[in-house]
Amino acid sequence: MIDRPVIRGRLAQVAQSIRTVMRCLSGNKESQEGTQRAMLILCELHDMLCQIQDQLSWAEEKWIVDPSRLVALDEIIRCFESTVGAIEMYFQPGGISTRSLRKRLLEIRFIPRLEHFKAMMILAMQPESRSTIIDSLQNTFTSADVAIVFIFGHDETDDASSVGFLDKILAQLVYRKRTPSHATASLYKSKSFAEGKVSAKAYQDAIRAEVNRFSRVMFVIDGIDMHVEKERIMNRLQKLPDHAQLLVTTREVNHTSKDGHISVLAPHGDLETYACTRIEQDGRLSALVNQYPPELKFGIIRQVALKSHGLFLLARLHMDLLSRLDDGSLLQRSLSHLPESLNDAYGETMTRIVSQNPFASRCLYWTLYAQRPLTVSELEFAAGFELQRNSPLKETSSSEHTMLYEAAGLLTIDAMSGTVHLVHKTAKEYLSGPAARVFFPTAKVNIADVCLAIITPDEVIDDCYVNQGGTPGSPRGGLLNYATTYWGHHASEVGEDEQAVQVLIRAFVNKLCWRRPPVTNSCTLGLEMPKQLGFGKYFPDWTSLHVLAYFGITEKAQRLIDQGADLDDCDNQLGITPLHCAVYRGNEEMVELLLNAKANINATCKDGKTVLHLAGEQGHRKLIRLLLHRRVKSRKANQQGETALQLTIGTTHDEATVPLLIKSRFDMDVQITVTGNTALHRAVELRRPRILAFLLEKGANVNILNRDGLTALQLACKTDNCEAVSLFLEHGAQSEIRSSHGTTALHVSALQGNWVAFDLLIIGGADIDAWDSEGDSLLHMQAREPSTTSIAAHLLAQGADIEAYNSQGYTPLQCAAMSGNKTKFLFLVDQGARLDVQTSKGETLLHITPPLNQDCLDIVETLLECRFSANATTRSGLTPLHHLVINAFDLPDPSFDQTADFLSLLLSYGANVNAPTASYEAVTALHLAVTANMPRESLVSLVSLLIENGASVDTRTSDGRTPLHLAAERGRRDIFQILLDAGADPSIKDTEETPTNDRVKGDGLTAIDSVHKYPVNVDWPDTKSNFHPLPAMQQRNSLVATIDSADSESERSQIDEIEGSSMISEEYSTWGSRASSTSMDLSSIISSSC
């Protein structure tokens, strides 16, 4: 049975035979045309064999290793081997045949066979050996993950606008998946779609969302030039993701005087003008033409224009070829054989250059193979170094012109940078193809030889290492900078049989070791792997194996390994091994060599990166697969806590490499130890929607919280990544999952002001009335915020419940009233909020609105104007006036000017200042004020304010006590005096049967009796209401200070605690804290000492 290793070995043997045959044919001088044609075909066959070998090495599909295909390949290779062997037998130096026979065999027998094998190789490379190329394309574009959209650009029966055109595209994409995306569903459910007012931008966003659901989308648009809004349509389609491809066709256009199209081909007259101008500007060609009749000049102009077929580049090449001729008869013959295509022109030009001008030939292959554009001086040095090894070319004033002239127009110089380039990309495509092996068979060897030759001197090697602050000992002119940077790339392309280059490689590497400077702390380039090693950038602590691995020179590396080199040497500034160097640069053969030699695949450098981190970061797919196949630890983290998968997300090649790094769901759910982010968080943070979609399809956990307490969906809402939000909702992510702070994704988007994401969540079913960690919904929070009403209006438009209760039992309107937010209060009223809403204890809006500022007064006035009763009572029997008195002392910044206005406003609308509470105790506002725990000044102001507004000083409670009784019992001399001054009767006795009274001979107590019973102050009135000190024996020994002498708040609180509780408990406050929703229990308000 034939297996893959056998076929790969046979392919390698055939490739070697092809190279041998090409060397044999290159020495054939009999038939240049036939030989070049055969070599071109052999070059193409060699490339195909290499591609088939790569297919077998990295097989991902079953058809590649199908047994029947392997048998067919084996049969083709056997036949091809016999043909290659016959060519080698006839064309090897000193062969058995004559020249004429070899020519006939090549042209009649071997070239047709090679063409036949070329066609067979092309078919062998196609999917399924029994299928055609058409079948392959059909299979590709009919898969479930690929979509094709067909649109006709003009249809008179349909809408001719760009919106109608985009609507057709969207409909086809939706039909292809059978279900719409989240963005498309939102569009179809929108009000604007129902009214037919959807904008082109909305359709474009929906199309983008649909396109992201496919791996590839092909748009075939016919007759777009006939559409009235073709420019707008094309502008929008060109902004779609990169995997969307456009195939636009145009209808035949009648060439009339009104024709508005622009042709890219030059008119015949312009080409003739160009040819004429070139003749006049070229002194040599002009002198030659002037020796002959004018018909020759006209013939040149006419023939160049005719053979150029509308291409200025081809006309330029024609003129460059003709300008090099110095014989009139030869010029006339050349006119009839001018090439009619660019490839033919390149081929003829190269044939002349290779045979006549070695310097120009070297300039061309240096320009072709150089890893960066070379300047004129660098190119001149490089091309002339081999020809004059000991005396490089000297610069002349006309060097640039001479170089361009000798290159026959194939080179051009960039005016801005001064670098040399090929004249056109078609020239690079031609020369880098099979033609390169015909015209430049030894070019790569020559380039490597020159680079190594100029960097081997000791003074150059000394300056290759990281500059320690000294002055370079060698000048950096010529090609030195380029050679020290790219010598390894060119040397790695040279075979081991090139002994001269191998010797130079060994000499350079050995000198790097022998002449390395001492390592100091000053030579630091950071902890990042260098992108390039160049002049002054080599590390003195790298071994020879590090350098060879970096540049991928496997032959020399193998010798060092055989000699016992340390494969895992990481004693350097970066802490890297040779394997790190090879993986970073993508040197596949070197990586395999090191792994086969048992290099540590899990070694880490100083920043904690493994070779898998580097492979993913640099996008080396083959190396990722190789490392995973060798059992590398894929979940190992670097110093930032990132695995290779997490580090790869956000790189240029992540769409190709991320799928390779996922072996299980756990790989996607690993968290970064520093931030707690998963792969989903990274994809959201770096805005990689296709990566995010892939992770979701693979089942990544969407509910994992990072160190900030956010899920990936909440992070998308925070960063306003609307595309990610749509993807999460499409894949069923729960929007009600709460962060560690108790917020949902909807709260996060609203707090950040990301309203597009907010709307997407609402459409996706998020609860707009959900509570946050404080027990408030978004509308409750907005009701308290002193901001504009636009956000609240948006919340209501999206369905927020205007009568929803928070965890304390308040509606948004009540929150606005309690916060004194007049703007939001009036807005909510205009939006239909109920004014008759009450708390669980029966408190109306009048009860809970505090006297904070003018806005609060305006709210109260608005309520009173709406016929709210100023004497409405709670379930505990308290009126708004009672609430005002009870809570006045608990305001954040007590302002009795506002309290006075508040009180006046209530009284002006009929509030009864002497109304008792509708409860057993029957206390009035003045009773409550006298017993309030507040600073002395505030207490005096409050009591005086009530008296001034008509409060009765002799009103009794249910047990017969007046305010004067309560002031006496609590030792409040100032209040007692104010009440007396207001006309309070000190002779009024409380009720006899009150269980709290001590009976005095069967009668109640007066306020004066209470003074003597509770002698808190030393200065109290006698029975005749005259103030004087009491006897010492009647004073309480437990009290050493009076209320009047207690200056500090702590002292007053201690005295109040001793003398008995007030009528007001602190937990009763309504306006001072959010815990005030409980109504008062009057039994706890009235002091038990009474």
Query: What pLDDT is recorded for position 597?
Result: 93
Instruction: Give the lowest-confidence range in 82-86, 231-235, 558-562, 1038-1042.
Output: 1038-1042
Strands 1027-1029 and 1019-1021: antiparallel
Could you tell me which CATH class the domain 869-1085 is placed in? mainly alpha
Which CATH fold would you assign to the domain 541-626?
Answer: 1.25.40
Is the distance from CB of 613 to CB of 624 less than 8 angstroms?
no
* Tens digit of each residue's pLDDT (9 = 90 or more) over 701-717: 999 999 999 999 999 99
**Residues 692/684, Cβ–Cβ less than 8 Å:** yes
pLDDT at residue 589, rounded to an integer: 92
- pLDDT score of 995 more than 80: no
Residues 947-969 as b or e (16 or more Cβ within 10 Å = b): bebebbbebbbebbbbbbbbbbb
**Which pLDDT band, with edges at 50, 70 and 90, does 154 fall under?**
low
Look at residue 210 and give its three-state secondary structure.
Answer: helix
Reported confidence tier of residue 352, pLDDT bands at 50, 70, 90: confident
Distance CA 325, CA 286 (A): 11
CB 439 within 8 A of CB 386: no
One-character DSSP codes across 314-346:
HHHHHHHHHHT---HHHHHHHHTT--SSHHHHH
pLDDT at position 136:
52
**Tokens encoding 360:** 């120009």
pLDDT score of 402 = 79
Q: 886 pLDDT exceeds 60? A: yes
Q: If you search the block for the tokens 């105790």, which residue do you land on? A: 921
1064, 888 contact by CB (below 8 A):
no
Sequence length of the chain is: 1090
User: Does the pLDDT of residue 202 top 80, yes or no?
Assistant: yes
Q: Note whether 1090 and 1062 are within 8 A (CB).
A: no
What is the C-alpha to C-alpha distance for residues 327 and 341, in angstroms, rounded to an integer? 25
The pair of structure tokens assigned to 381 is 């040095």
pLDDT in tens, 830-863: 888 888 888 888 888 888 888 878 888 888 888 8
The residue that leads in pLDDT, 874 or 142, is 874
What are φ and ψ of residue 461, in 5° steps? -65, -35
Phi, psi of 220 (to 5 degrees): -105, 110
Q: Identify which of 835, 773, 775, 772 has the alpha carbon closest to the alpha carbon of residue 802.
A: 835
Domain boundaries, the chain: 4-135, 148-188+197-249, 268-340, 355-512, 541-626, 634-767, 869-1085
Q: What does residue 375 show for φ and ψ, rounded to 5 degrees? A: -75, 170
CB 577 within 8 Å of CB 599: yes
Give the pLDDT band of residue 1043 (cuts 50, 70, 90).
very low
Q: Are 362 and 446 in contact (CB under 8 A)?
A: yes
Phi, psi of 635 (to 5 degrees): -105, 10
In the chain the first and final C-alpha atoms are separated, in Å, by: 112
Q: At 1055, is the pLDDT very low, low, confident or very high (cuts 50, 70, 90)?
A: very low
Q: CA-CA distance, 93 to 88, in Å (whole number)?
A: 9
Average pLDDT, the chain: 79
State the Cα–Cα distance between residues 877 and 916, nearest whole angstrom.
8
State how far the Cα of 1053 lies from the Cα of 935, in Å rounded to an integer. 10
Pick from 195-209, 467-481, 694-708 the range whose average pLDDT is largest.
694-708
Report pLDDT for 1067.
Answer: 39
**β partners of residue 219:** 149, 246
**pLDDT attached to residue 536:** 79
Res 889: pLDDT: 52
Residue 640 · residue 674 · CB < 8 Å: yes
Q: What is the C-alpha to C-alpha distance for residues 1015 and 969, in angstroms, rounded to an integer?
A: 9
CB 720 within 8 A of CB 748: no
Q: How confident is the model at residue 253 (pLDDT cuts 50, 70, 90)?
A: very low
* pLDDT(14) > 90: no
Domain 634-767 in CATH 3.30.980.10: no
Q: Tell me the pLDDT tens digit for each residue of 792-835.
A: 888 888 888 888 888 888 899 888 888 888 888 888 888 888 88
Res 267: pLDDT? 86
Give me the pLDDT at residue 389, please.
60
The pLDDT of residue 222 is: 73
- Residue scoring higher pLDDT (702 or 386): 702
Residue-wise pLDDT for 442-460, tens only, equals: 899 999 999 999 988 888 8
For range 496-513, the mean pLDDT: 86
Beta-sheet pairing, 244-249 with 216-222: parallel
Burial class (CB in 10 A: 0-12, 13-18, 19+), 222: middle
Per-residue pLDDT at 996: 45
More confident residue, 873 or 698: 698
Of the ranges 417-426, 594-603, 1048-1057, which one carries the lowest mean pLDDT score? 1048-1057
Provide the pLDDT confidence category of residue 692 given band limits of 50, 70 and 90. Answer: very high
Per-residue pLDDT tens digits for 656-675: 899 999 988 888 989 998 99
Q: Measured between alpha carbons, how far is 371 from 369 in angstroms, rounded to an integer? A: 6
Q: Residue 516 half-sphere exposure, CB side, CA atoms within 13 Å?
A: 19
Considering 97-111, 116-130, 446-460, 878-892, the range whose residues carry the highest mean pLDDT is 446-460
Q: What is the pLDDT, as a whole number, of residue 81? A: 85
As a whole-number percent, the residues of the chain with pLDDT over 70 amount to 82
The mean pLDDT value for 490-505 works out to 87
Which of 328-337, 378-387, 986-995 is predicted with the least confidence, judged by mean pLDDT? Answer: 986-995
Any idea which of 187-201, 432-446, 549-563 has the lowest mean pLDDT?
187-201
Q: 587-596, 904-913, 997-1006: lowest mean pLDDT where?
A: 997-1006
CA angle 397, 399, 405 (to 5 degrees): 130
DSSP labels for 354-383?
HHH-HHHHHHHHHHHH-SSPPBHHHHHHHH
Phi then psi dihedrals of residue 150, to 5 deg? -110, 125
Dump pLDDT digits (tens) for 590-630: 999 999 999 999 999 988 999 999 999 999 999 999 999 99
Cβ atoms of residues 862 and 832 within 8 Å: no
Tokens read off for 49: 């064999």
- As given in the structure block, the two tokens for residue 437 are 């092996």
541-626 and 869-1085 agree in CATH topology: yes
The predicted model gives 1022-1050 an average pLDDT of 42
Q: Look at residue 1049 and tell me whether its pLDDT is greater than 50.
A: no
Q: Which amino acid is at 309?
A: H
Q: Can you give the pLDDT at residue 683?
A: 94
Residue 444: exposed, middle, or buried by beta-carbon count in 10 A (0-12, 13-18, 19+)? buried
Angle of the 182-189 helix axis to the 755-763 helix axis, nearest 10: 80
Question: How sure is the predictor about 523, in pLDDT bands with cuts at 50, 70 and 90?
Answer: very low
pLDDT at 897: 54
Give buried/exposed letters for 772-807 (b at 16+ CB in 10 A, else e). Answer: beeebbbbbbbbbbeeebebbebbbebebebebbbe
Highest mean pLDDT among 90-99, 102-111, 341-350: 341-350
* Amino acid identity, position 153: G
H or E segment and range at residue 1019: strand 1019-1021
Question: Which range is least confidently modeled, 95-104, 112-121, 207-216, 380-389?
Answer: 95-104
Residue 1021, classed as helix, strand or coil, is strand
What per-residue confidence (pLDDT) applies to 625? Answer: 92
Q: At what angle do helices 268-281 and 294-308 cross, to 10 degrees?
A: 130
**From 49-58, 427-436, 985-994, the region with the lowest mean pLDDT:** 985-994
Contact between 788 and 794 under an 8 Å Cβ cutoff? The reply is: no
User: Which comes out higher in pLDDT, residue 34 or 449?
Assistant: 449
Residue 4 has pLDDT above 70, yes or no: yes
Q: Does an H or E element contain 798, and which? A: none
Burial (0-12, 13-18, 19+ Cβ within 10 Å), 991: middle
Query: What proportion of the chain, given as a percentage, has pLDDT over 90?
Result: 17
**Tokens 């013959």 -> residue:** 333
